[in-house]
Amino acid sequence: MAGIYIHIPFCKAKCRYCDFTSYPGKLGISDAYMACVFKEMKLRAPELRNKRFDTVYFGGGTPSVIDPMSIVGCMNLVRSDYNLADDAEVTIEVNPGTVTAEKISLYKKAGINRFSVGLQSANDRILSDLGRIHTAKDFEVACDLIGDANLNADVMIGLKDQTLKDIDDAVMLASKCGAKHISLYALTPEDGTPIYTDYLNGELPDADEVADQYDHARALLKELGYLRYEVSNFAKKGFQSGHNLNYWRRGEYIGFGVAASSFIGGRRFTNTADLDDYIKCIMTNYYPVVDDGMVEGDDAKFEMVMLALRTSEGLSLAKYKNEFGTDFPVDFFEPLKKNVKFLECKNGRVRIKDKYLYVQNRILTDFLH
């Protein structure tokens, strides 16, 4: 299994919490940028000719803000130059403030069969405070346009003046609008973002309050039939994100566009996050890679453990042995002994017990050699 990721770094406006590689105000160069993405995809195609891809993911930024014909063009290129499975999962991230019926129709014709819509909150005051460009009503309209296609909604917790009712309202709205998958993220106030000031001012809920919000949301999600399969991801049966599961299973993926990362043949590499540098490199026939290296030995082992233990399926002992030729309980004897009460082993898999999954970071630190 392998995935294709395409990064679209344009947004209408910068949200107050955003630390992603996104450039508001540069939409004017999106056509030129996409021409470079097409070229990068063409350049990479020969070396990936024999690889089968099962997922495509348009992430950002806001992929739905650019000319939809560029998304159609990307999909045509994926089909002509890459070996894409007939039943591939093809996802696009959508901001409710940027969609039209025409765009959704073109996306569907291009083969997009999964829509990830950023709701974040059903409270318009909170949305405005976050700097989001849409209202809760816009989310409903976007979902109506998307129709009965596979839908994910992003919901945030840990927000300023956010009540448990606000969280219930967001989850209920996503559910009412037909979401088969809900991603529940806690706000991370990153240094350098405007929201960091709120954090410094003590205006955001502390870690214990956020943990309570998470437990509260998780209980509601369970009641509504959304099963947790990763610490932040909940899905109706059969609607887990194949693209993200591939990341957590340490599967291969190729990333195109500014700041995109790839993992192919044991090698991880990342493109520059500088938009001008990215365009210059591609125009002069260079790969815009700034970070590149094989992941081997203990690093590779830790990586597999760290990714797998985020998920409810956990780590396959057989897969570990097959990959590294050694036994997980032997390699990680000390951290396993220290964390035994947080873990369980069933059917050849080790996983963090359900009630401790939210605090997995504290547990995983011990596995880092």
**Residues lying near ligand SF4 in the complex (CB under 6 A):** 11, 14-15, 18, 20, 22, 60-62, 95
CB of 64 to ligand SF4, least distance (A): 10
* Closest separation in Å from C-beta 258 to ligand SF4: 12
Nearer to ligand SF4, 127 or 304 (CB): 127
> Which residue bears the tokens 């070396």?
47
Compute how many other C-beta atoms are within 10 angstroms of the C-beta atom of residue 336: 17
Residue 227 beta carbon to ligand SF4: minimum distance, rounded to whole angstroms: 26
**Comparing C-alpha atoms, which of 286, 282, 322, 347 is closest to residue 39?**
282
- State which residue, 95 or 150, has the beta carbon closest to ligand SF4: 95
150 touches 180 (CB < 8 A): yes
- Nearest CB to ligand SF4, comparing residues 244 and 339: 244
Give, in order, the Cα–Cα distances in Å from 324 to each of 179, 199, 318.
Answer: 39, 43, 10
Of the two residues 116 and 316, which places its CB atom closer to ligand SF4 in the complex?
A: 116
Q: How far is the CB of 22 from ligand SF4 (least distance, A)?
A: 4
| Residue pair 159/118 in contact by the 8 Å Cβ criterion | no
User: Distance (Å, rounded) from C-alpha 40 to C-alpha 36?
Assistant: 6
**Shortest spacing between CB 284 and ligand SF4, in angstroms:** 28
Residues 7 and 259 sit within 8 Å (Cβ to Cβ)? yes
Q: Least distance to ligand SF4 from the beta carbon of 39, Å?
A: 24
- Least Å from the CB of residue 241 to ligand SF4: 17
With beta carbons less than 8 A apart as the criterion, state whether 345 and 356 touch: no
Nearest to ligand SF4 of 15, 117 (CB atom): 15
Tell me how far apart the terminal alpha carbons of the chain are, to the nearest angstrom: 29
Peptide bond into 73 cis (omega under 30): no
15 vs 37, which CB is nearer to ligand SF4? 15
Q: Are 264 and 252 in contact (CB under 8 A)?
A: yes
In terms of CB distance, is 24 or 314 closer to ligand SF4?
24
CB nearer to ligand SF4: give 20 or 356: 20
Min separation Cβ 250 and ligand SF4, Å: 26
Pick 11 or 364: Cβ nearer ligand SF4: 11
Report the nearest approach of ligand SF4 to the CB of residue 274 (Å): 17
Whole-number Å distance between alpha carbons of 27 and 258: 14
